[in-house]
Structure 1
Amino acid sequence: MSRNRLKTGLAEKRPMAGIWLSLDAPAATEIAAGSGADWLLIDMEHSATGLDSVVHHLRAAMAGPVEPVVRVPSAEPVMVKRLLDLGARSLMFPMIDSAADAARVVSYTRYPPHGMRGLSMTTRANNYGRNPDYLTGHVDDLCVIVQVETPQAVAAIPQIAAVPGVDAIFVGPADLSAAMGHLGGAQHPEAQALIDQARDMAAKAGKPIGILGFGTDLARGYVARGFDFVAVAGDSWLLARQMDAIIASMKT
């Protein structure tokens, strides 16, 4: 069994609740790690989080039994290589529109001859050279998640899911709805209908599928609709709403 808690939970078909982290505050990651969440998303695409701070988030996540996932800022091999060397073992890739896109990003996570990941023998990932089994066993712990964020990406889910090394699919509802002409309208009926199609296609292909669904009602609704892993809240989202609520309560 993989040591990757998210990958294991998805294989066991347990609903996996996650927290989205975009504040670039390792203390927030440490707090989230102790919340009971199954996974955390360290966002590098839509945040100030850079490569230098990711390792601090990974260390902070060790405060709890949780799997940290890093969303890369873009799908390119040098960033992926460096994140893997830092010890990230779950990666989310944005804007994957085709099987060719998916195969390309999977290749960034594998050593030759199965991919193009560069090799360093002394990294945090292999305990600075102390783990001789890393080269042969690391793939068991990798979890490659690809995001579908356009109608063409949803249409390509059967082909994307068939790519060896793709472990899960993740719907980005904001970008998907924007690509459909409903900017800021993730709950638009047309967008939600396409989201359900994505779920059905992933299920038919035998791949777990996740989604962003902040808030108890929305998150529970997505789980009830068959989504396997859901981002139920975000650090900045929680902070803004709770601050607003408590200040508003003092002014009434």
Structure 2
Amino acid sequence: MHVPIIENSFKRALNAGQLQLGAFMALADATTAELMANTDFDWLVIDGEHGPNDINSITRQLQSLAAYPVKPVVRLKDHNVANIKQTLDIGAQTLLIPMVESSGQATQLVKAIQYAPKGVRGLGGGLTRATRWGAITDYLHKAEEEICLVLQIESPEGIEELEGIALTEGVDAVFIGPADLAASMGYLGQPGHPDVCLAVEQAIEKVHTLGKPVGVFCGEPLQAKRYREIGASFFLIGADTMLLKTAADHLVARFRT
């Protein structure tokens, strides 16, 4: 039995410059993931950096999202090659890697998603969900074209090396993280500070000029519109945790008055 490889519609949407609105998922729960899939988000990020996710919870959420058109993305906690390999093997096709600060790091991350001789990704074959346990018989030859590598820039060092990172062959897109960027610029807890917004705008314009898709976290519609106008095409605009807490607070407040 031969099963065709799943096409990465998120990668295609980025390359086409289509607006993609997404949210973080930090509750590490498959039912919550399915609930979020029944909304109008274009993409959802299973957060393994700050959310209490492990390889099992990420697998369960990927399985829940598979029945829906929403595009799943997994954010890893670091640059560990073994973790990248395992996350790809459970079927993740788009990875968001945080704290990238140099073209050298970018090159190593590209190698982590590629099989030898180009890269260092180990072969799991029929052991892995990615190959549908061997049913995708041409997976080894087609996997790379369906994997999307998004590198997150969130420090002045990363901004300084932005061109080299963005132009590294095999990097599909760049994502700007204003919160950590603000902290590293001396504006802890102030991602909306004018200096931070200016740095974000300059980064977006630069990556866009280089011809690479660029995204950003932004919870303000007017600011997001501005970022869209200068070249950003994919946005994270919220999180399951924030949405739940905000809705709960508003509900209780209505009955307290």
TM bracket, shorter-chain basis? over 0.9
- 3-state SS of 1:78 partner: helix
Separation in structure 1 between the aligned mates of residue 223 and residue 253 of structure 2, nearest angstrom: 23
Residue 110 of structure 1 corresponds to which residue in structure 2?
A: 114
Conservation of the 8 A alpha-carbon contact between 2:176 and 2:200: yes
Q: Secondary structure at the match of 1:247?
A: helix
Q: Secondary structure at the match of 2:125?
A: coil
Mapped pair 1:16 → 2:20: yes
2:187 to 167, 182, 199: 182
Q: Secondary structure at the match of 2:129?
A: coil
The corresponding residue for 2:36 is 32
Matching residue of 1:139: 144
Percent identity, please.
Answer: 34
Contact preservation (8 Å) 1:40, 1:66: yes
State whether structure 2 residue 90 is matched by structure 1 residue 86.
yes
Deviations 1:94-113 (A, max 9, x none): 10000001011111100000
Cα RMSD between the aligned structures?
A: 1.3
- Conserved in 2, the CA contact under 8 Å of 1:33 and 1:62? no
Q: Greater shift after overlay, 172-181 or 30-39?
A: 30-39
Secondary structure of 1:41's counterpart equals strand
Kept in 1: contact 2:205–2:230 (CA 8 A): no
In the alignment, what sits opposite 2:232? Answer: 227
Structure 1: which 4+ aligned runs deviate by more than 2 Å? 214-226
What's the CA shift string for 1:194-246, capped at 9, x where partnerless? 00110011011111111111254444443344311001221001011111111
The CA deviation string for residues 57-109 of structure 1, in whole angstroms up to 9 with x for no partner, is 10111231011110011111110110011000100111000000101111110
What is the match of residue 66 of structure 1?
70
Q: Are the aligned partners of 1:212 and 1:232 in contact in 2 as well (CA < 8 Å)?
A: yes
- The answer as to whether partners of 2:23 and 2:240 remain within 8 angstroms in 1 is yes
Q: Is the 8 A contact 1:222 1:230 kept in 2?
A: no
- Distance in 2 between the 1:5 and 1:232 partners? 20
- Residue among 167, 170, 192 paired with 2:172: 167
Aligned residues: 251
Does residue 120 in structure 1 map to residue 124 in structure 2? yes
Bigger shift: 209-218 or 138-147? 209-218
Alignment partners' CA distance in 2, 1:74 and 1:91: 11
Local SS of the residue matching 1:3 = coil
Deviations, residues 148-194 of structure 1 (Å, cap 9, x unaligned): 01012112111111111100001111000000000000000000000
Q: Which residue of 2 aligns with 1:240?
A: 245
Aligned counterpart in structure 1 of residue 80 of structure 2, from 76, 88, 97: 76
Whether the aligned pair in 2 keeps the contact of 1:144 and 1:166 (CA below 8 Å) is yes
Structure 1 residues not aligned, in runs of 5+: none
Matched AA of 2:247? Q
- 2:222 and 2:28 map into 1 onto residues whose CA distance is 27
Measure the CA separation in 2 of the matches of 1:111 and 1:229: 28
CA contact (8 A) 2:7 2:146 kept: yes
Which residue does the alignment assign to 2:59?
55
Deviation per CA, 1:127-160, whole angstroms, max 9, x where unpaired? 1011111000011110000010101211211111
Matches of 1:184 and 1:214 in 2, distance apart?
A: 14
Q: Distance in 2 between matches of 1:89 and 1:29?
A: 17
Q: Partner amino acid for 1:197?
A: Q
- The aligned amino acid for 1:246 is L
Paired with 1:220 and 1:33, the residues of 2 have a C-alpha distance of 24
Distance 1:141 1:125, change over 3 A: same
CA contact (8 A) 2:204 2:227 kept: no
